[in-house]
Chain A
C-alpha cells in the first residue's frame, strides 16, 4: 500500500499518514492474493453523532475529545479527557493535527473560540486544552503574520525575554525597522490600558505608514492578544476587519510584537501565550 500521486507526512508504510484537509487522499493498493473487498477507514476527522445515540449515552474513546452541540444560536462544548490506557509520559500528550487549517482563518478562529469556551471533564483536560489552544494560536499567528514570523515566535517562546526580541523585530519586515524599534521602545504604554494602548499603537502605525485606520489598528491589537469573542465585540464589522488585516501582515506582526513584549515583561505569568490585557 502506498500514497498515490502525493507523498504524505508521517507515512508509516502501512496505510497511515497525514493529508491536508484540502486534499483527496489517494492510495495505491497491490495484493498478491485474491481478495473480495477492502475495508478502508479514514480517521481523525470530526464525526457527526446523531442525537438518539448521543442521548442514549456513549463512551468517549481514549484519549477523549471535544464534544460539541449546537441548536440555533445556542452552542455548548465539552472537552473530555481520559488517560487510563497511557503507558508512558508520551501518551499523556495529545498533539493536534492542524494541517490544512492555515488556508482558512475563519475556521481557525472558530476552533480557537470553541476550545477556549469548552467546559472540561477528566484528568489533564486543562493542560491538554492549553497545549491544543497554543498550537491553534501559533497556527493562527503564523498564518496571519507569515511563516518567518511563526518561526520567530517559536524561537521567542523558547526564551521569552524582552531583550531577546530582536529576531521578532527583524521578522516584521526589512524596510520597517524603525516601526519595530519604536514598538519595542515604547511598549510599556500598554500598561496604561487597552484603550490608551490601542491609541498609541494606531499613532505609531500611522507615523510609519503601516496603517492609517485606528479601528483596524485596534482590531489588530485585539486579535494579537485576545482572539476570542470577536463577533460579539465587533459585530458585523468583524468579517471585514479580518479580511483587511490579512492584507496588512506588517500591522499584524507589529500588534503581535507588542503582545509578545507584554508577555515577556509579565513575571507573574511566565508561561502565558497571550498577554493579560483587559479588553
Chain B
C-alpha cells in the first residue's frame, strides 16, 4: 500500500465512499454528517451524545473552513439521529449494565417503517457497516438530508425483502406514538401545579429561562438569565458534568424558588422534548402561539419552523414529509398535498402552533 499526501476534499471523498454515500459534497453536507454520526455510534455506543460529537469533530478536524458552524452542524446531526431513530436514549432501551448513565445514547438496531407512499424509512445502525443492507439495496437508498429512504420498485415487496434480511419492521403507529392529547391550558396548569408541590430549591448559578415575552420566531434570543421575573418559566440549570438539565422554574423577583426537572418520572420523552412542548403551551395560553410558515412551491407545500419541535412531532414530519432547504427559519419540511391538511391539524391541535402564509409576511 502506498502512503500519499492528500487534500482536504480528497479526505472527504474517501470518507463518503467508505460510508457508501453517492455523489460529492462538502464537509457540512447533512447526509455526510448523519452517516459519520451513525458510524461513530456503531463504534462508541453506548456513550454520551457529547462523545459522539467529539469523535465526529475530531475526524473532521481542519477539514472545515467554518469550525464553529461545523460544531453546530454536528450537534444538529446527533439530534437528528435521535429523531430518525438511529440513536436511542437510556429510557428507550433495556440494559443490564448497572453502570449505565442517563446521559448515554445507544445505537438502535437496524429497522424500518413503511410510509404511506410505499417507500421505507430506514433507521438504526449496523456496527462496522454503512448499512445492514446488501450493495444492491444500498445503492437505492435516497439520502434526504439526515434521513434515509428506499423508494419501492414495481413488482417487489420491499418490506418482505427487508424482513428477510433481518431488519426489524416497526409499525407507523408505534413508531409515531404521541403523548396523551390535552389542551394547552390543561398541560401548562398541570405542570404548574406539579412545580408548586416541589420542595423549595436553593440558589442555582447560571440558570437560564425562556422569556415568553420575546419573539417566538427567534428561538436562541428567548433564552435569558433571570433578572426580576416572577412566575413559571421553562428553564435549564447547569450540572457538574454534562449538558444543562431541562426543567420548569418558579421564580419570584428573579430568584429561584422551586425547580421541577424534566423529563418527569416514567415519562419516556427527553427533557428537551418536554420543555419545548411546554413552552408551546405557554405561548399558546399567552395568546402569542409559536408559528409555522406555509410556503407553496411547484413541487409541494413547505412548512417552515422557527423553534425546535419535540422529537415525536419532528419524527412524524420526517416520516410523512421530507426535509428540504430551509429559508430564514430553523428547519423546513415539504409535505405531500394529500397529507397537508392532516399535518397542519396535528401542528395546530397537538403542539398549538399557528400558521402564517409566506404572502402574509411583512404586513
Residues of A within 8 A of B (CB): 2-9, 20, 22-24, 26, 28, 30, 40, 42, 45, 99-100, 102, 145-149, 171, 173-175, 246, 248-250
Dominant SS among interface residues on chain A: loop
Q: Is the CB of A149 within 8 A of B166?
A: yes
Per-position contact with A for B53-67: 1 when CB-CB < 8 Å, else 0? 001101111110000
Q: B189 contacts the other chain (Cβ, under 8 Å)?
A: no
Q: B268 contacts the other chain (Cβ, under 8 Å)?
A: no
Report the nearest B residue to A249, measured CB to CB. Answer: B164
Q: Is the CB of B14 within 8 A of A7?
A: no
| Given known A40-B3, A147-B132, contact A4–B59 (CB-CB < 8 A) | yes
Q: How many residues of B contact A (CB 8 A)?
A: 36
Within 8 A of A (CB), among B1-56: 1, 3, 6, 11-12, 14-15, 17-19, 36, 39-40, 43-44, 55-56
Q: Is the CB of A7 within 8 A of B40?
A: yes
Instruction: Tell me which of B6, B134, B164 contacts A26 (CB under 8 A).
Output: B6
Report the nearest B residue to A100, measured CB to CB. Answer: B128
Q: Is the CB of A2 within 8 A of B58?
A: yes
Inter-chain CA distance A45–B1, complex, in Å, is: 10
Inter-chain CA distance A28–B10, complex, in Å, is: 12
Inter-chain CA distance A148–B132, complex, in Å, is: 10
Q: Is the CB of A4 within 8 A of B61?
A: yes
Q: Closest CB of chain A to B363's CB: distance in Å? A: 48
Inter-chain CA distance A100–B11, complex, in Å, is: 20
Q: Is the CB of A4 within 8 A of B11?
A: yes
Within 8 A of A (CB), among B163-188: 163-166, 168-169
Report the nearest B residue to A99, measured CB to CB. Answer: B128
Q: Which residues of A contact B19 (CB under 8 A)?
A: 6
Q: Is the CB of A20 within 8 A of B128?
A: yes
Q: Which residues of B contact A248 (CB under 8 A)?
A: 164
Q: Closest CB of chain B to A21's CB: distance in Å? A: 11
Q: Which residues of B contact A246 (CB under 8 A)?
A: 134
Q: Is the CB of A28 within 8 A of B61?
A: yes
Inter-chain CA distance A6–B13, complex, in Å, is: 11
Q: B85 contacts the other chain (Cβ, under 8 Å)?
A: no
Inter-chain CA distance A51–B23, complex, in Å, is: 44
Q: B126 contacts the other chain (Cβ, under 8 Å)?
A: yes
Report the nearest B residue to A5, measured CB to CB. Answer: B15
| Given known A102-B128, A149-B166, A173-B163, contact A7–B58 (CB-CB < 8 A) | yes
Instruction: Tell me which of B43, B60, B110 contacts A147 (CB under 8 A).
Output: B110
